Amino acid sequence: MITVLAGGVGAARLLRGMVRAVPASEITAIVNTADDVILHGLHISPDLDTVTYTLAEAGNPETGWGLTGETWQAMDALDRFGGPTWFRLGDRDLGTHLHRTGRLAEGAGLATVTAEIAAAWGLEVTLLPMTEDPVATMVTLADGGGTGREAGGEVGFQEYFVRLGHSVAVDSVRFDGAENSRPGPGVLDALAGADVVVIAPSNPIVSIGPLLAVPGIADALRTRRADTVAVSPIVAGAALKGPADRLMRELGHEASVVGVARLYRDLAATLVVDTADAGLADAVEAEGMACVVTDTIMSSPDVAAGLARRILGMPAEDLTPDAGVTPAAGASRNAEARR
């Protein structure tokens, strides 16, 4: 059994490869919900939807979000009325948000609704919201970002990421409501019962950070450190997509695989890095983590599957889940023994 801590695009691509390496029914993804937002009266869960659509082979490969073959008549109509359209919702995508919002209004929990949506798309992977309680990623802008706001002004994550194009400097990030939240149904069991726990190559600050802020999740992860493998989202000092590298620098972290190791060393015993960072493997290990070097740039589902097999320690072409002790798992245990 494999449990993956997941954000959006990077996690979705890894999961798409992972289902080619092991039976999908053996995979559970715990997904960030601190990006969730209410717009037009609808409850939108961007990371859950990105993972769902990607696993269903229905996601838009060009944007990394939304559905392929979308139309935009609803947004065009809203624009005619002067409504906010900076967060684009396609006509097909709206069906997901309408279902989610209606079911939540009926009293269903987010975990139940997520399972319904996944089943409707034919997914066998178990998707779990990190919490059913409201948690919101809030970003403090360093200088107003040309938005007319004063320096130190705070905005929600979607306004920072989408409306402002995540191009403005950041002073701090906090997860509003996290301290009073509880792990979602099944979350702690998935961490405790996994043979391997994987921290996906998602933004460590705003995608994985919210999961770790939910009381109980980080503690559960620490108890599984020897069996936990993290994949660096930073390659050669840069993020492949999104602002992970800039956020790390702006918040005082080194934007490198070494900086990622420092963030995860208490939670995971192994860090998987790209071949471009092979020269930093010793520096990663000096931080107390074993380092596995492989191709982490998931340019295709086949490459993603190869990465998944390497994370799980399976022979390159072995599609079965019982390939024995994995190089990553073995490295994890060796790192734990040295710790």
Q: Are 301 and 59 in contact (CB under 8 A)?
A: no
Residues 196-227: b if buried by 16+ CB within 10 A, e if exposed? bbbbbbbbbbbbbbbbbbbeebeebbeebbbb
What is the model's pLDDT at position 333?
43
Average pLDDT score over residue span 210-215: 98
What pLDDT band is residue 338 in, cutting at 50, 70 and 90? very low
Q: Please state the φ and ψ torsions of residue 59, each to the nearest 5 degrees.
A: -75, 160
For the record, the structure tokens of 176 come out as: 């509003």
Give tens-digit pLDDT for 79-125: 999 988 999 999 999 999 999 999 999 999 999 999 999 999 999 99
The residue type of 16 is R
Separation CA 59–CA 89 (nearest Å):
13
Give tens-digit pLDDT for 170-188: 999 999 999 999 999 999 9
Q: Are 51 and 44 in contact (CB under 8 A)?
A: no
Alpha carbon separation from 178 to 75, 99, 111, 131 (Å, rounded): 32, 26, 17, 9
Enclosing H/E stretch for 97 = helix 91-105
Average pLDDT score over residue span 281-293: 97
Average pLDDT score over residue span 267-275: 97
For the record, the structure tokens of 230 come out as: 């993290």
Separation CA 14–CA 201 (nearest Å):
8
Which of helix, strand or coil describes residue 174? strand
Which of helix, strand or coil describes residue 287? coil
Q: Please report how the helices 110-120 and 91-105 are oriented relative to each other, as an axis angle in degrees rounded to 10.
A: 140
Q: Are 59 and 65 in contact (CB under 8 A)?
A: yes
Least confident of 5-14, 138-147, 177-186, 330-339: 330-339
Q: In the predicted model, is pLDDT for residue 320 greater than 70?
A: no
Mean pLDDT of the chain: 91
Residue (of 156, 267, 160, 290) closest to 218 by Cα position: 267
Q: Are 263 and 204 in contact (CB under 8 A)?
A: yes
Q: Beta-carbon neighbour count of residue 322 at 10 Å? A: 7
Which of helix, strand or coil describes residue 283? helix
CB contact set of 159 (below 8 Å; sequence gap of 6+): none
Look-up of token digits 């918040």: 251
Q: Are 332 and 229 in contact (CB under 8 A)?
A: yes
Residues 18-38: b if buried by 16+ CB within 10 A, e if exposed? bbebbeeebbbbbbbbbbbbe
What pLDDT band is residue 313 in, cutting at 50, 70 and 90? confident
